[in-house]
Structure 1
Amino acid sequence: MTRHIDFDGIENFRDFGGYDTSFGRPVKRELLYRSANHAYATDADLARMAGLGLAAIVDLRRTEERRREPSKRWPGFGAAVVENDILSDHGDWVDMMKGVEVDAEWFLADGLGYYRRAPFEPRHIDLFTRYFQTLAQAEGAIVVHCAAGKDRTGLICALTHHVLGVGPDDIMADYLLTNDEARMARKMAFLGPWLRDTAGKIVDDAALRVAVSVNPAYLETAFAAIREAHGSLDGYLTDVLGVDPPLRERLQARLLA
C-alpha cells in the first residue's frame, strides 16, 4: 500500500488512512492527509491539491513560521484554514541555536524535550481541539501539516489513529514513515543551507539526519508524559482536547469504512 504522494515542492505528503482498527472497520482512504508546509508548492502541486477535495487545511505552525514560509493556495481556494497566533512555549530554532554547539545530540535532546512538552502547550491544545472538531464536521478531506510534517503533525496523527482504534504497532509504523530515505536526503540537502543562511550554523550530516527524522523515543516520550499527567491517552483526549464519547462517535462514523 503506497502512502507517500509525490509532489514537486511539498515534502512528506501522505495518506494516513487505510489502517485496520479495533472496531472491525478500517480507516477510510483519501480523507486524511498529512504533509510538510506548502510554501514551496509548484503550480502543478496546487492543481493536484485542488483535486483532492480538501475541505480544510490545519496548519500547526507558529506565526513566525507562517510568515517566513507563507502557504501557497490554488485559484478559487475555499477550504477552511485552522491556525492560531498563540505564543509557543518552545523557542524557534533560529533563536535557540544562538551561542550553542548544534550537533546530533543537540537535535535529539531538543526533540525529546519538545515531545515531553508539546501535548500541553496552550497553542497545541487550541489547535488539536479545533482539529478534531473540524475533522468531525468537514464535508471532505483534510490535510494537517506543520513545517516538516513530522513532529507536531506526527503527534496529532498518532492521536487521531488512537481515537479511531488503530493499534499501537500501526500507530508507530505510520509515524516512522517520515523516515523515508529519499525524503530525508532531500530534506538534509535543503536544511543544511537553510540553517547556514537563517541561523548562521554549519551543521554536519549526522546532525542533519537527526534533525530531519523521527525517533520512536519521541512519540513514546509524548505518550508517557500524557499518561503521567492524565492517566491515559483517552483521559487526555477527553479532559484536555474535548474528544468526548459523542465526538468520538462522530469521528468514527465519518472516518471508518
Structure 2
Amino acid sequence: MTNSERFLATEGIHNFRDFGGWPVAGGGRVKRGLLFRSGHHVQASDADLVAIAALDIRTVIDLRGSSERERNPCRRVDGFDGEVLFYDGETSSAPPHMHTDPSTVVPGQARQRMIGVYTRMVRNPAMQTMFARYLRVLAEREGASLVHCFAGKDRTGVAATLLLHILGVLREDQIAEFMRTNAAPTLAVLREQSVPILEERLGRKLEEVEIRARLEVDEDYLATFFYEVEKDYGSLDTYLAEAIGVDEPLKERLRARFVT
C-alpha cells in the first residue's frame, strides 16, 4: 500500500489514515481496515462523513482536553451509535503545535518547543490515562477504531506508536509510520485551521520554517519521547507496564485482534 493509498481522501479533515499493514517481528502484519488516526473533525465536510461512514468505525478515542473539544466540536457521522472516549479535563494547555508562550515567540524556538512537548508527554498524567484507555478499549470493543487529537500527529502519533510497539512492529517502522504524517495530502487544512490563529496571537507573520516545525513532525520529536521513556523506565515495555498499565495478557489480546 502506497502512502497515498493509506490516506482517506478528505476535504476538511487532516491526516486521516489507516495505520495498519506494518510487518511484525516473527511474521505476520498489522491488520488493515481496523486502526485509523486523524486530526479533529470540526470542519469535516458532508462528503468526508460519507467516506468515514463506510469504514464502520465503532470506537472514537479523542485525545483532546475539555477546552479543545468545546472550542472545536467534532462532526460525527449521522446516526453514529458507537462510543466516543475522551478525558474529562485537560490533556494539554493547548494543542502542541498551537502554543504561544514566550518560548515560541522567537521563530527559531518553534522546533525546540515541539521537542519540549514530547519530553513532557512521557510524564503527563492525563496522557498516560488516555493512552491506557485507548489500549484497553481496543482489546475490548469489536470493529474499527479512530484515534485523533487536533492535528493528528503528536498525541495521536505517540498513541499509534505505543500500539504498534505492542503489536511487534519494529522501531524503524514505528518511526516511518510517525513520519508518514508529513506526506499527508491535507496539510492545507491544518494550515487554515492553525496559522491565522497563531499569527493573530503572536502579532506577526510566521516564517515558513516555523510553520513546518509546528505543523509537521520530525524524527527528533519521537526520538525525544523514546529517550525520556528510557531515561525514566529503562525501556518502552517497562513504561507501558508501570505508567500505562499494559500487562502481558493485554498485549496478547491486542496481538490476537490486530495481527494476521
Superposition pairs of residues 93-172 of structure 1, within 5 angstroms: 96-97=99-100, 102-172=105-175
User: How far apart are the structure 2 equivalents of 1:197 and 1:112?
Assistant: 23
Match for residue 25 of structure 2 among 2, 22, 26: 22
**1:148 counterpart letter in structure 2:** A
Q: How many angstroms does 1:111 deviate by?
A: 0.7
8 Å CA contact retained: 1:90, 1:114: no
User: How far apart are the structure 2 equivalents of 1:94 and 1:186?
Assistant: 14
**2:166 counterpart letter in structure 1:** V
User: How far apart are the structure 2 equivalents of 1:102 and 1:23?
Assistant: 48
User: How far apart are the structure 2 equivalents of 1:54 and 1:214?
Assistant: 26
Superposition pairs of residues 138-217 of structure 1, within 5 angstroms: 138-180=141-183, 182-197=185-200, 200-217=203-220
| TM-score, length basis structure 2 | 0.92
Indicate the residue corresponding to 1:238 in structure 2.
241
SS at match of 1:126: helix
User: How far apart are the structure 2 equivalents of 1:60 and 1:103?
Assistant: 28
Q: How many angstroms does 1:4 deviate by?
A: 1.4
8 Å CA contact retained: 1:28, 1:255: yes
User: How far apart are the structure 2 equivalents of 1:82 and 1:132?
Assistant: 12
Superposition pairs of residues 22-41 of structure 1, within 5 angstroms: 22-41=25-44
| TM-score, length basis structure 1 | 0.93
User: How far apart are the structure 1 equivalents of 2:130 and 2:215?
Assistant: 23
Indicate the residue corresponding to 1:47 in structure 2.
50
User: How far apart are the structure 2 equivalents of 1:5 and 1:34?
Assistant: 10
User: How far apart are the structure 1 equivalents of 2:198 and 2:179?
Assistant: 24
Which blocks of at least 5 consecutive residues in structure 1 are unaligned?
Answer: none
User: How far apart are the structure 2 equivalents of 1:129 and 1:181?
Assistant: 27
Query: How many residues are matched?
Result: 257
8 Å CA contact retained: 2:98, 2:214: no
**2:22 counterpart letter in structure 1:** Y
Spell out, residue by residue over 1:94-153, the C-alpha distance to the aligned partner (whole angstroms, 9 max, x if none): 995255663442221111111011022111011111000111111100010010000001
User: How far apart are the structure 1 equivalents of 2:138 and 2:28?
Assistant: 18
8 Å CA contact retained: 1:184, 1:209: no
User: How far apart are the structure 1 equivalents of 2:97 and 2:24?
Assistant: 40
SS at match of 1:214: coil
Which blocks of at least 5 consecutive residues in structure 2 are unaligned?
Answer: none
8 Å CA contact retained: 1:108, 1:210: yes
